[in-house]
Structure 1
Amino acid sequence: MEATETLPEVRVAPPVQVMPVRGRRLLRKFIDLPYRLYRDNPYWVPPLRRDVAEILSPRKSPFFEHGQIQPFLALDASERIVGRIAAIVNGMHLKKYNDGVGFFGFFECVPDFAVAEALFNAAADWLRRQGLQHMRGPTNPSLNDMAGLLVNGFDRAPSILMPYNPPYYADFLERAGFTRVMTMWAYYVHKKYLKAEKLERGVELVRRRNPTITLRTLDMRRYDEEARTVLDIYNEAWSENWGHVPMTENEFQHLARALKQIVDPELVFILEDDGYPVGFSLLLPNLNQALRHARDGRLFPFGLIKILLAAKLGAIYETRMPLMGIRKKYHGRGLDALLVLETIQRGKRRGYEACEMSWVLDTNKVLLNALEHLGGVVDKEYALFEKPL
């Protein structure tokens, strides 16, 4: 299937009705839509339904301690569901920036602009009523979660915790008055094309200049304490990045509990200066290579068996580095090179063939240049869009 043939062309008969999601029955329909839309797409990786339900649950998701999510469904004249969107208020974002920006996420629709426009309008109207002046997205529900719109790289499956969508979504956003406000890149580094010699020389120089810096792996016996250390470094290291919103303690603990099930402690590194933690990096096995076999997003009755069988047969041979951070005081010392080199070397020893570094902001020219010199290639392009309300 060609990338432009992700979904069959359709024209929804007017009028398009958009309704807010209230109650479990409509929420199940909201969650179910992508599994129907992408049923025949070989690149889309189905998330587990229970994970999506948890993100949208005020009772289970710590996002709701400071934010709001209002989902909407679009129905055609025969009351068939043809699209969805969520309007999002991120309290932590507003607390940091006070810029009147609301968000949209969880956007999916059939290839009919009338449906997309109706959904965008519903989300915009709801955000206006919350007193907001701009709408940005997609975020699901925040930049600390799955975020960004795929705009290039449709003929390849996404890595773990990365989004996928058909090509026409970007066109729909632009026709609806959105403009791109940030570009993010996913770099693919394969061991066959790795150029590590220059990096190795640079790391040797960094080690000589910073003799008190040591590197260790994650201590699973102190997992909760280690998670708090990583949170502290992350919130400091990323604080000046475009769009950054600090994670709350509960949000990070929620994420840490989820990652504990899949993390390989030999692939999580913490840099210390004479015993004081100053940096970290996180490398995850690309579980999407196994999850893609559970097409309905359910573990039972057969999904778990398919996932475990795929993993046992060697389906997971790639990794993704979603997070890396260095405390501000230690910027400019080249310590990130220590983390990148150790990640590559340890990943190879653990049997992984390639790594996706994502996403990298277009403004981070230092890291972009470093990845290209390392032999990395641009694999996918993502973007965030915004419009005034």
Structure 2
Amino acid sequence: MDLSEENRFVRGDDWQIRMLRIQIASSRRDIREFIDLPSQIYSKFDTFVAPLRMDRGLMLDPKQSAAWKRSRIRYWIARIDGQSVGRISAQIDETIPIGVASGSGMFGCLDAIDDERVVASLMEAARQWLEEQGCTYMYGPCSLNMNEEPGLLVEGANEPAMTLCPWHPPYLGEHLDHLGFSRVRDLHNWRLDLDQGPPAIRQGHSALSKRIPNLTVRHPSRATYAADIQILCDIYNDGWRDNWGFIPLAPADLAGLDQLMKWLVPREAFKIVELDGVPVAATLLIPNLFELTRGIPPTPGPLQWLKILWRACNHRFQSGRIIITGVAYRLRGTLVGSAIASLLVDELIASHQALKGHWVEAGWVLENNHALIQILERFNFRRSKTFRIYGKDTAPAPTTL
């Protein structure tokens, strides 16, 4: 039965009979409701910070999202007595992430009130659609692919909000566990409080990198930005190509970053390392945009937009996130590669300290990426958030009579 048309009767906390419906979100009004839903149902949580609707629209609106141009995607909204109480997406991309079996489909954008029946109905809607599309396995959540916001936040809900990091209440993971979804991978964010950085270790890595002949670090300029974004993507794709969850990164995936770079990201936050004149490593740190929108509702009015603009022109960012970093595959496991990876971290720390920042966050780091974890630990990063990828077969379990 199509859950988008099915009526289900459930009991609420007040023991009143209520109607739960799972409906496809396709109209412009539905899409707006879908985008705004987390801000509505999570407003009671002190640690939830609502992102701007404009920001979410770039990622989720079919007319703006890069994911909608290359994937088959469907949205659903859960409503009880007409009030929206949850949402979910399902998407199929021709590019399957490394380590994920062919024939798999993804679910994402999972947000709901604390009601396992709501979560179960949303997951069932996504499962049915993915099965109808020929998928034998479902994994997620991801909004809307592995290069955007992968995973369900299962640890770190009390940590400060960070750009491009989803927020979820603890009960969502518990509901997925109860529904038989298994942990596939954990991705971690690592935080460094800059006033606790170990200068002796930084100096040691800086000295080591200086002993590598013809190694240079440069900062892209506006004139070289387009070419350098392509270099950033190429290095990332080369360095991470055999890691679990990898899908190629294209400049189109970074749409809108040019304006961010123009107005908010200092040149020092984007670095390209060259060896003998050839790019071999790159990294990009962006400021925590939640600092600009602190206390601002998801849909600002004219005066609130002026406040954001004033902050953008005058604000000194206290925090930032390393969103992309990579070292050429041919240098993996070599002393030079290790020195360059450490140099990237050292350079970003030094830049953020020079800009008077207080902390930085790095992610998504796979739980078994021991080489990178060792580097982060040497620089006194601590694990701050855990995002979990869940999976389950799309075929329903057989009924026992």
* TM-score exceeds 0.5: yes
Q: Is the 8 A contact 1:46 1:292 kept in 2?
A: no
1:157 matched residue in structure 2:
160
Equivalent residue number for residue 3 of structure 1: none
Work out whether residues 237 and 327 of structure 1, in 8 Å CA contact, stay in contact via their aligned partners in 2: yes
Q: 1:366 and 2:368 equivalent?
A: no
Per the TM alignment, residue 73 of structure 1 is displaced from its structure 2 partner at its CA by 0.6
Distance 2:61 2:199 in 1: 45
Q: Is the 8 A contact 1:290 1:315 kept in 2?
A: no
Deviations 1:76-120 (A, max 9, x none): 1x2211111011112222799661111111111111000000000
Q: What code does the residue aligned with 1:379 have?
A: S
What's 2:243 paired with? 241
Distance 1:126 1:163 in 2: 24
Q: Summarize the Cα distance change of 1:292–1:124 in structure 2 as closer, same or farther, 3 Å threshold.
A: farther
Equivalent in 122, 131, 135 of residue 138 of structure 2: 135
**Residues 156-235 of structure 1: pairs in structure 2 closer than 5 A:** 156-208=159-211, 210-235=212-237
1:310 is displaced (CA, Å) by 5.0
- Counterpart of 2:360? 355
Contact persistence 1:66–1:92 (CA under 8 A): no
Distance 1:246 1:10, change over 3 A: farther
Task: Quote how far apart the aligned CAs of 1:52 are.
Answer: 2.2
Partner amino acid, structure 2, of 1:104: F
**For 2:96, what is the secondary structure of its paired residue?**
helix
Which residue of structure 2 lines up, in the alignment, with residue 63 of structure 1? 67
1:102 maps to amino acid: G
For 2:389, the aligned partner's letter is L
RMSD: 2.3
2:139 pairs with 1:117 = no
**CA 1:34–1:9: 2 relative to 1, 3 Å:** farther
**TM-fit CA distance, 1:51:** 2.8
Is the alpha carbon distance of 1:22 and 1:316 closer, same or farther for their aligned partners in structure 2, counting shifts above 3 Å? Answer: same
Shift of 1:308: 4.0
| 2:196 partner amino acid | Y
Q: Secondary structure at the match of 1:351?
A: coil
1:361 & 1:13 partners in 2: Cα distance? 44
How far apart are 1:249 and its partner, in Å?
4.6
User: Amino acid of the residue matched to residue 31 of structure 1?
Assistant: I
In the alignment, the residues of structure 1 paired with residue 53 and residue 24 of structure 2 have an alpha-carbon distance, to the nearest angstrom, of 20
SS at match of 1:164: coil
Structure 1 position 303, deviation (Å): 3.2
Cα distance in 1 between the residues matched to 2:15 and 2:214 = 64
Is the contact made by 1:185 and 1:359 (CA closer than 8 Å) also made in structure 2? yes
Once residues 42 and 95 of structure 1 are traced to their aligned partners in structure 2, the CA distance between those partners, rounded to angstroms, is 37
Identify the residue that residue 319 of structure 1 maps to in structure 2: 320
- Given that residues 148 and 382 in structure 1 are in contact (C-alpha distance below 8 angstroms), is that contact kept between their aligned partners in structure 2? yes
Give deviations 1:163-193, integer Å, cap 9, x for gaps: 1110101001111111111111111111221
SS of the equivalent of 1:50 reads helix
Q: Select the residue among 43, 58, 65 that pairs with 1:39.
A: 43
Q: Tell me the CA shift for residue 387 of structure 1.
A: 1.0
Code of the residue aligned with 1:117 in structure 2: it is A
Residue type matched to 1:143 in 2? Answer: M
Tell me if the contact between 1:139 and 1:148 (Cα under 8 Å) persists in the aligned partners. yes
For residues 13 and 205 of structure 2, the distance between their equivalents in structure 1, rounded to whole angstroms, comes to 52
Contact 1:72 1:85 in 2 (8 A): yes
Q: Identify unmatched segments of 5+ residues in structure 2.
A: 1-11, 395-401
1:280: how far off? 0.3
Q: Which runs of 5+ in 1 are unaligned?
A: 1-7
Q: Which amino acid aligns with 2:91?
A: I
Which letter maps to 1:300? G
With over 3 angstroms needed to count, the CA separation of the structure-2 counterparts of 1:362 and 1:96, relative to structure 1, is closer
Mapped partners of 2:313, 2:265: distance in 1:
17
> Any conservation in 1 of the 2:104–2:135 contact (CA below 8 Å)?
yes
What's the TM-score once normalised by structure 2's chain length? Answer: 0.88
Contact persistence 2:99–2:245 (CA under 8 A):
no
1:45 match: secondary structure:
coil
1:5 aligned residue:
none
Matched, 1:339 2:344: yes
Structure 1 position 307, deviation (Å): 2.8
Displacement after TM superposition at 1:359 (Å):
2.0
Q: Secondary structure at the match of 1:163?
A: coil
Displacement after TM superposition at 1:349 (Å): 0.7
Helix, strand or coil: the match of 2:252?
helix
CA apart distance, 1:383: 1.2
Is contact 2:320–2:359 with CA below 8 Å preserved after alignment? yes
Count of residue pairs brought into register by the alignment: 378
Which letter does structure 1 place at the counterpart of 2:74? Q
| 261-270 or 110-119: bigger deviation | 261-270
Please list, as runs of the form range in 1=range in 2, the aligned pairs for 1:249-260 lying within 5 A after superposition: 249-252=251-254, 254=255, 256-257=257-258, 259-260=260-261
SS at match of 2:368: coil
User: TM-score, structure 1 length as denominator?
Assistant: 0.90
Alpha-carbon separation, structure 1, partners of 2:16 and 2:351:
52
Write the deviation string for residues 318-347 of structure 1: whole angstroms up to 9, x where unpaired: 111111101111222221111111111111
